[in-house]
Amino acid sequence: MSLSTKLETPVTGIYTQPTGLWIDNQWVEAIEKNSFEVINPATEEVICSVSEATDKDVEEAVSAARRAFEGCWRTTTPQQRGIHLTNLAQICEKNIDNLAAIECLESGKSISTAKEEIFAVIGCLRYYGGWADKIEGKTLDINPETLHYTRQEPLGVCGQIIPWNFPMLMLAFKIGPALATGNTVVVKTAEQTPLAALVFADYVKQAGFPPGVLNILSGSGKVAGAAISSHMGIDKVAFTGSTAVGRTIIKAAAMSNLKQVTLELGGKSPNIVFSDADIEQAVSWVNFGIYYNQGQCCCAGSRVYVQESVYDAFIEAFKKRAQAISVRDPFDAKTFQGPQVSQRQFDRIMGYIEEGKKSGATVKAGGKRQESKGYFIQPTIFSNVTADMKIMQEEIFGPVVAVAKFKTEEEVIKMSNDSPYGLAAGVHTKDLNTAIRVSNSLLSGTVWVNCYNMVHHQQPFGGYKQSGIGRELGEAALANYTQTKSVAICLSGALF
């Protein structure tokens, strides 16, 4: 199989798409010569085929990462590591249109959403580039005859398993803190969306990273993903994806070498509208909270609770808003919502829509497929949803929202917290005391007040309960990639 092919996007024209595996700063073919097809979700047509890594290729990538860790990266000065990361950010900035167009092509997200995502990638890489030379230990004043200090040292080789909903951003969330702190990395992208990351791989070398520091593999979860999570030579695995796969990964980590694990998993996030909220604004945020990125966000505000005195007015305004969403060609600059990422996701979401109808919830908007080709689904609102319905309990990961009424603050806190998940929540109110009281009572890793989806690289992000383990982003993410070494030096030689 060739290691590259020519592809075209409607906004950037013809470009060279690498299709091999990126190991040791080189393109290589998969050892078993396997490949898989990447599908354009807007047309259901094949875009191209890429090499598929098996456990043998994972082995090669881990060996390269280990050589790089021992040979140079752990001792590269923090300042130099930071320079490489900021170089990488700069190269992405120069190629923003290309990266965004490739993401749009393979994931179906709108070109405007893809571009925002690449901006966030650049911000994240720069941010962690800035952290590289600010990672400090402590000196501990224990005894005048001794010197005690701590160092924050890298873990070693990190495996990072990336989902398809934000292919480049999830990659940046993970490689940023890992590389800044002196680890080397083996990334496995999602099988639906390997292309932008492969184009990005070429920038790794251009940014000056030594061979083996960052290796990028395309491959399946069951083969390459499983090989990473159970590998004896990988010191840590970071994963974003479904709770079910998260469980498999932590099990594989436990059964192999007890590698460290961070997980960013599913959610069924509540978005609460109090009667004193600015209803127009709340509608905008609730709409953005669920339909952004085709509803394919782990933090999507998919359970909406509206206080009863404004329930009817809210539903009518929300319905108008949802029906006005442009669901069409993701390359059209005016498009907000493109197709779902795959046939599998499409079928899953349509299954939930049927389930909601059967369970007696009211379809207020949408509820159907849009277009006959491509995985497009109408923005869907179910009202009169009760707590026992599946559409109120399970993560749908699509443009489908369940809306219910509540009477009191106490009641809505109970409803909101009645979930195995705890990733994010929204609160809409003009009363500062209500905002603070409710935010403090919600069992979720993030609370957005009078807004939604305000994820930023400076602010930690992660889940309570079954939504995950550990925090990504912000200073907090550095802790996932360092271990504390305590050093004690006896100054006198014979203290006791």
Binding site for ligand ADP (CB under 6 A): 161-163, 188, 190-191, 220-222, 225-226, 229, 241-242, 245, 248-249
The minimum distance between CB 364 and ligand ADP, in angstroms, equals: 27
| Rounded Cα–Cα distance for residues 51 and 87 (Å) | 27
| CB distance 155 to 482 below 8 Å | yes
The minimum distance between CB 464 and ligand ADP, in angstroms, equals: 19
* Residue among 177 and 241 whose Cβ is closer to ligand ADP: 241
Q: Taking CB positions, which residue lies at the least distance from ligand ADP?
A: 221
Q: Look at residues 125, 129, 132 and name the one whose alpha carbon lies nearest to residue 93.
A: 125
Q: Which residues on neighbouring strands pair with residue 240, listed in sequence order?
A: 264
| CB distance 19 to 189 below 8 Å | no
* Residue among 271 and 296 whose Cβ is closer to ligand ADP: 296
| Rounded Cα–Cα distance for residues 223 and 52 (Å) | 9
Q: Look at residues 341, 467, 349 and name the one whose alpha carbon lies nearest to residue 398.
A: 349
The minimum distance between CB 91 and ligand ADP, in angstroms, equals: 24
The minimum distance between CB 292 and ligand ADP, in angstroms, equals: 17
The minimum distance between CB 124 and ligand ADP, in angstroms, equals: 19
* Residue among 194 and 211 whose Cβ is closer to ligand ADP: 194
Residues with a catalytic annotation lie at: 264
| CB distance 284 to 321 below 8 Å | yes
* Residue among 199 and 449 whose Cβ is closer to ligand ADP: 199
Q: Residue 470: left if φ>0, alpha if ψ -120 to 50, beta else—which one?
A: left
* Residue among 222 and 407 whose Cβ is closer to ligand ADP: 222
* Residue among 222 and 373 whose Cβ is closer to ligand ADP: 222
| CB distance 213 to 65 below 8 Å | yes
The minimum distance between CB 465 and ligand ADP, in angstroms, equals: 18
First and final CA of the chain: distance in angstroms? 68
- Chain center to CA of 323: 28
SS3 assignment for 315-372: HHHHHHHHHCCCECCCCCCCCCECCCCCHHHHHHHHHHHHHHHHCCCEEEECCCECCC
| CB distance 481 to 471 below 8 Å | no
